[in-house]
């Protein structure tokens, strides 16, 4: 069935059910960013493969609302689908709701599938449209009846991690969450989000590409912990181990019945951003509900020393893979046989040779020339550039290791570099260095780090349209909350042990893109009469190419940082290389 035919079938069901506007979010019952194939509804409906967007369908219009990261991609993928791109003015803003209200000035009927919408999204739709005489139906699945051959939910096995890897056993984490539940005066807590669940129970799986998570729910009370997971995914040994921590394993679908069976004496804590509307709507009306951040989300973001030590080692191994990769690219680009797709595959191969490698942490972004100007570009057969010994190559990639998650972006020149490319590269590098060198006081928020990192670009009248950084998990999701380094007033302080990316960029459409990304860990620096000061420990271990640097645009502190960083990289990585590889890296790490 073509996308235009799917759209017609949806509209036919809408007419039968008297639905004026139908909303399809990019999500699943666990409010995941990356989705199992069963829940890739926007891709199936419209052809758009980006990880952020919302479809809205009426009888007269069908649109995809998404942000600037996906404008070029969406324009190409929506061609002939019947859907049009609607460019968001503000990233993640629910601008489609305002649009719906304007299309139906006298009100109408709006519907969505509550399994795909978070409580936050559902409440936003209702709060904005109900006062305008709209009817809102949060239990309308219009895709299930027409989706022939829909992929089944994954049945891949799950496994447990030992305390030697995680630094905390499950019993300790249960106790920590119960302390936070008590502070909220709640005796029950539902965990729907897969990375929270994975951290909480020290369980991992392969149910979602690039994310080592398993589909499930957890219901925590003052005395019990129920883990809802599909039969057969956990072995007897793992079930018994969980039982030893006070965790009962139950069938995945029975969570709804247990939620409906809650008593009037129960007080449940749910996270509105990480709980789907369908399961929330199953809570009996007599049960008191507290909406707040999952306790596990903040606990998970603060890495313990065992996790940090493992991550440091994973970063060295990842740096070995990156070094081998860039040496290989440099030595083979003149052959004319390298392409964006083939180099991504080769990089994954180098990572697979490293200890503890499990998977890549996201689809590799290998953007050559003007493709580098697309921040979330993924090469497809019809867009796949062949590499030549000229122009810029941007590679944003990462690995999932048993001992940590990596995310790194580097840009190299393949030859014939221009002064404009050098200047753009150098200003981005200054941003990365300034963010990495930042000294700040306890209580600092991410938007303050964003401002520091962005300043060299702004001063040169340049800028980038995405945030400066995101949290990163420990052998978990490469995008991890609740903290973020961007311009929004996110009221989450930077806490000791948080791992975050610092990744300023610059994108010239039709020409080139530049992004230089390292991961950093927040750490305590010093306390004195002026306050408690913190700084960042740089974790990423991979040389930063100096061939594109215009030294006249750097200050002494930038030059010193760059030289010291590259020397540090050489000392950590070279012992794991062959003599030939080490000699190549030494040349790349020479001081400027």
- CA proximity to 212, closest of 265, 140, 157, 170: 157
Sequence-distant (≥ 6) Cβ neighbours of residue 583 within 8 angstroms: none
Q: What is the per-residue pLDDT for 377?
A: 86
CA distance 485 to 469: 5
Coil, helix or strand for 64? strand
pTM: predicted TM-score of the whole model, two decimal places? 0.95
Do residues 282 and 261 lie in contact, with contact meaning Cβ atoms separated by under 8 Å? no
3: Cβ contacts below 8 Å, ≥ 6 apart: 45, 46, 47, 80, 81, 82, 83
- From first to last of the 592 residues of the chain, give the pLDDT tens digit: 999 999 999 999 999 999 999 999 999 999 999 999 999 999 999 999 988 999 999 999 999 999 887 888 899 899 999 999 999 988 778 999 999 999 999 999 999 999 999 999 999 999 999 999 999 999 999 999 999 999 999 999 999 999 999 999 999 999 999 999 999 999 999 999 999 999 999 999 999 999 999 999 999 999 999 999 999 999 999 999 999 999 999 999 999 999 999 999 999 999 999 999 999 999 999 999 999 999 999 999 999 999 999 999 999 999 999 999 999 999 999 999 999 999 999 999 999 999 999 999 999 999 999 999 988 888 889 899 999 999 999 999 999 999 999 999 999 999 999 999 999 999 999 999 999 999 999 999 999 999 999 999 999 999 998 999 999 999 999 999 999 999 999 999 999 999 999 999 999 999 999 999 999 999 999 999 999 999 999 999 999 999 999 999 999 999 999 999 999 999 999 999 999 999 999 999 999 9
Buried b (16+ CB within 10 A) or exposed e, 509-533: eebbbbbbbbbbbbeeeeeeeeeee
Peptide bond into 71 cis (omega under 30): no
Separation between Cα atoms, residue 119 and residue 26, nearest integer Å: 14
Helix (H) or strand (E) holding 110: strand 109-112
d(CA 335, CA 387): 9
CA 387/CA 414 separation, integer angstroms: 8
């Amino acid at each position: 069935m073509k996308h235009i035919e799917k759209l017609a079938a949806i509209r036919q069901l809408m007419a039968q059910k008297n639905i004026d506007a139908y909303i399809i979010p990019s999500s699943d019952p666990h409010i995941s960013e990356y989705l199992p194939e069963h829940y890739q509804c926007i891709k199936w409906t419209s052809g758009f493969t980006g990880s952020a967007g919302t479809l809205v369908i009426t009888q007269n219009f069908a649109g995809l609302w998404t942000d600037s990261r996906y404008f070029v991609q969406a324009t190409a993928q929506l061609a002939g689908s019947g859907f049009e791109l609607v460019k968001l003015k503000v990233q993640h803003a629910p601008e489609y709701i305002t649009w719906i209200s304007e299309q139906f000035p006298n009100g109408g009927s709006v519907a969505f599938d509550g399994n795909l919408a978070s409580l936050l999204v559902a409440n936003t739709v209702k709060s904005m449209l109900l006062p305008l005489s709209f009817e809102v139906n949060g239990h309308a699945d219009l895709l299930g009846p027409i989706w022939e051959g829909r992929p089944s939910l994954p049945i891949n096995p799950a496994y447990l991690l030992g305390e030697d890897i995680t630094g905390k056993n499950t019993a300790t984490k249960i106790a920590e969450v119960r302390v936070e539940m008590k502070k909220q005066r709640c005796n029950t807590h539902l965990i729907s989000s897969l990375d929270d669940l994975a951290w909480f129970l020290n369980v991992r799986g392969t149910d979602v590409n690039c994310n080592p998570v398993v589909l499930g729910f957890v219901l925590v009370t003052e005395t019990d912990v129920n883990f809802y997971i599909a039969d057969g995914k956990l072995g007897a040994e793992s079930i018994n181990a969980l039982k030893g921590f006070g965790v009962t394993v139950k069938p995945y679908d029975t969570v709804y019945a247990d939620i409906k069976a809650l008593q009037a004496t129960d007080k449940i804590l749910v996270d509105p951003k990480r709980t789907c509307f369908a399961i929330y709507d199953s809570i009996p009306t007599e049960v008191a509900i507290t909406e707040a951040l999952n306790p596990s989300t903040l606990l998970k973001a603060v890495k313990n020393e065992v996790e940090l030590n493992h991550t440091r080692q994973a970063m060295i191994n990842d740096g070995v893979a990156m070094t081998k990769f860039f040496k290989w690219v440099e030595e083979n680009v003149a052959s004319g046989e390298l392409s964006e797709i083939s180099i991504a595959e080769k990089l994954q191969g180098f990572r697979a040779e490293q200890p503890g490698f499990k998977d890549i942490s996201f689809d590799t972004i290998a953007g050559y020339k003007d493709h580098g100007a697309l921040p979330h570009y993924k090469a497809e057969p019809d867009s796949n550039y062949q590499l030549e010994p000229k122009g810029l190559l941007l590679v944003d990639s990462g690995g999932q290791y048993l001992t940590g998650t990596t995310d790194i972006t580097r840009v190299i020149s393949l030859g014939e570099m221009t002064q404009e490319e050098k200047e753009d590269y150098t200003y981005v590098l200054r941003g990365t260095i300034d963010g990495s060198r930042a000294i700040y006081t306890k209580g600092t928020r991410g938007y303050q780090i964003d401002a520091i990192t962005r300043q060299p670009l702004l001063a040169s009248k340049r800028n980038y349209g995405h945030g400066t950084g995101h949290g990163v998990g420990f052998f978990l999701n490469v995008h991890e909350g609740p903290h973020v380094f961007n311009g929004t007033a996110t009221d989450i302080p930077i806490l000791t042990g948080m791992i975050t990316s610092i990744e300023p960029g610059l994108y010239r459409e039709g020409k080139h893109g530049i992004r230089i990304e390292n991961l950093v860990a927040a750490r305590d620096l010093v306390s004195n009469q002026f306050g408690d000061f913190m700084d960042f420990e740089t974790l990423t271990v991979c040389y930063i190419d100096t061939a594109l640097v215009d030294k006249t645009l750097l200050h002494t502190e930038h030059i010193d940082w760059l030289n010291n960083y590259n020397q540090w990289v050489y000392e950590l990585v070279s012992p794991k290389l062959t003599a030939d590889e080490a000699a190549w890296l030494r040349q790349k790490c020479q001081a400027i």
